[in-house]
C-alpha cells in the first residue's frame, strides 16, 4: 500500500529560549550577563520533523500546541521547512511549552522545564495521522505524551499493524517515572531505539555500551543505537555489532543533535528500501549510521536545533570532506 508520508514525527513541540555564555557573576542585585540570547523552535518532534524534511523526506508532525504566539511561531517554522502541519492539535487551555536552556562554551547544556511540559495529549486517538507513513519517530519516549504505557502501546501497535517502522528516541523521565519493565509489552514492537549514553545508563543500570545494548535487546527491541556524543555511536542487534567514531568538528551548541541523528537514521533506512528491520544489509546499516552521525555533527555547529542542518546535499559534502 502506498504511504502518504515517509516519516511522521510525534512528541513534544516547544520554544527553546537559549542563553549562551551565561556568566554566573551578577552585575547588579538582580542582573546577569550572557554572550547571547535567542528564541528557537524546538522539541524533539519539531527538531526531527524539520531535519527529515530538509533531508528530502515527505514529513508530517503530530503534536499539540497552545493557541498562542509561541504555537504560531512553531507552525510557521515547520511550514517554512516543508513539514506538513495538518495534524497539529491547537488547544486554548494548554499553553505552548517554553524551555530555558543554558549553553556552555563547549556546546553542552542544561535546561529548565515547567508545568506546561506535563500536558499529555492523546496521539493514539489519531492513528490515521501516523499509520499513513513508512516510519514514525517517537521523539520523546518516557516523556509526555509517551510517558503513559497504554498510550505508548496503542501508538506503537497501530503503527506496526499498518506496516510502519517505529523509531523510538528516548528521554530521561521528568514528571512521570517509567522503566523498561513498565513498557515490556511494547519494546518488542520497536524497530530502533536510540538513547544517548546517559539515558542508556539510566534505563539499563549498565555503563558499558555493549551491556547497555544487551539489556534493550533482552526486552525484545530489534535494533539498538547508543549515541555517545563526542565518542561516536554504538550499534547492536541480534547478529551485528558496530561502533563508529565521532566526526572532528568545533561544537557550538549540542541542542537537537540527537534529534537530527535519529531523523538522519530514519531517512537513510527508508532510502535503503528497508521494510523489515531484522533484515538490513550491513552496508546499508553502516551507511545509515554514518549519515545519521554527520547530521548530528552538523547540527552542533550553530546555536539552535534547526539552524545548521539544511539539506541532504550538505550532509553528503560533509561526509566527503571527512572521508
Alpha-carbon distance of 127 to 8, in angstroms, equals 11
pLDDT band at 104 (very low <50, low <70, confident <90, very high): confident
Yes or no: say if 137 and 107 are a contact pair by the CB < 8 Å rule.
no
pLDDT digits (tens, 9 = 90+) for 189-199: 999 999 999 99
Domains and CATH numbers, the chain: 5-22+36-322 (3.40.1190.20)
The pLDDT value given to residue 262: 97
pLDDT digits (tens, 9 = 90+) for 5-32: 999 999 989 998 989 888 888 999 889 9
**Short-list 220, 210, 233, CA closest to 286:** 233
Global pTM value: 0.91
Give me 301's grid cell.
Answer: 555547529
The pLDDT value given to residue 280: 95
> What 8-state DSSP symbol labels residue 26?
-
> What 8-state DSSP symbol labels residue 73?
H
Yes or no: say if 64 and 53 are a contact pair by the CB < 8 Å rule.
no
Count of residues for the chain? 323
pLDDT band at 1 (very low <50, low <70, confident <90, very high): low
What distance lies between CA 40 and its chain's CA centroid?
16
Alpha-carbon distance of 75 to 88, in angstroms, equals 8
Q: For the residues of 95-112, what is the DSSP string, one character each? A: PPPEEEEEE-TTS-EEEE
**Short-list 300, 295, 304, CA closest to 249:** 300
Name the average pLDDT for the chain.
93
Which is higher by pLDDT, 36 or 224? 224
Which is higher by pLDDT, 297 or 117? 297
The pLDDT value given to residue 16: 87
The pLDDT value given to residue 290: 97
Q: How many CB atoms sit inside 10 A of residue 32's CB?
A: 12
Angle (CA) 320-197-169 rounded to 5° is 80
Give me 107's grid cell.
Answer: 556546546
pLDDT digits (tens, 9 = 90+) for 216-225: 999 999 999 9
Can you say whether the dihedral through the CA atoms of 83, 14, 289, 152 is positive or negative?
Answer: negative
Amino acid at each position: 500500500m502506498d504511504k502518504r508520508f515517509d516519516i511522521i514525527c510525534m512528541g513534544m513541540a516547544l520554544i527553546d529560549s537559549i542563553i549562551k555564555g551565561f556568566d554566573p557573576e551578577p552585575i547588579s542585585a538582580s542582573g546577569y550577563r550572557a554572550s547571547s540570547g535567542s528564541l528557537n523552535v524546538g522539541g524533539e518532534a519539531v527538531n526531527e520533523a524539520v531535519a527529515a524534511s530538509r533531508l528530502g523526506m515527505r514529513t508530517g508532525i503530530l503534536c499539540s500546541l497552545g493557541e498562542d504566539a509561541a504555537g504560531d511561531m512553531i507552525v510557521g517554522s515547520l511550514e517554512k521547512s516543508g513539514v506538513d502541519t495538518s495534524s497539529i492539535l491547537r488547544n486554548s487551555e494548554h499553553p505552548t511549552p517554553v524551555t530555558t536552556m543554558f549553553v556552555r562554551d563547549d556546546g553542552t547544556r542544561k535546561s529548565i522545564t515547567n508545568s506546561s511540559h506535563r500536558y499529555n495529549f492523546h496521539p493514539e486517538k489519531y492513528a490515521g495521522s501516523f499509520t499513513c507513513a513508512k516510519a514514525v519517530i517517537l521523539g520523546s519516549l518516557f516523556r509526555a505524551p509517551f510517558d503513559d504505557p497504554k498510550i505508548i502501546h496503542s501508538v506503537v501497535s497501530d503503527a506496526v499493524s499498518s506496516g510502519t517502522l517505529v523509531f523510538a528516541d528516548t528521554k530521561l523521565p521528568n514528571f512521570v517515572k517509567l522503566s523498561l519493565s513498565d513498557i515490556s509489552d511494547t519494546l518488542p514492537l520497536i524497530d530502533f531505539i536510540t538513547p544517548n549514553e546517559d539515558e542508556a545508563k539510566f534505563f539499563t543500570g549498565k555503563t558499558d555500551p555493549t551491556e547497555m545494548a544487551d539489556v534493550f535487546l533482552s526486552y525484545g527491541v530489534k535494533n539498538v543505537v547508543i549515541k555517545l556524543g563526542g565518542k561516536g555511536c554504538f550499534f547492536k542487534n541480534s547478529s551485528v555489532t558496530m561502533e563508529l567514531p565521532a566526526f572532528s568538528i568545533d561544537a557550538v551548541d549540542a541542542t537537537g543533535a540527537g534529534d537530527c541523528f535519529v531523523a538522519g537514521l530514519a531517512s537513510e533506512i527508508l532510502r535503503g528500501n528497508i521494510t523489515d528491520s531484522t533484515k538490513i544489509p550491513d552496508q546499508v546499516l553502516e551507511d545509515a549510521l554514518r549519515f545519521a552521525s554527520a547530521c548530528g555533527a552538523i547540527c552542533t555547529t550553530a546555536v539552535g536545533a534547526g539552524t545548521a542542518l539544511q539539506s541532504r546535499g550538505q550532509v553528503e559534502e560533509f561526509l566527503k570532506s571527512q572521508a
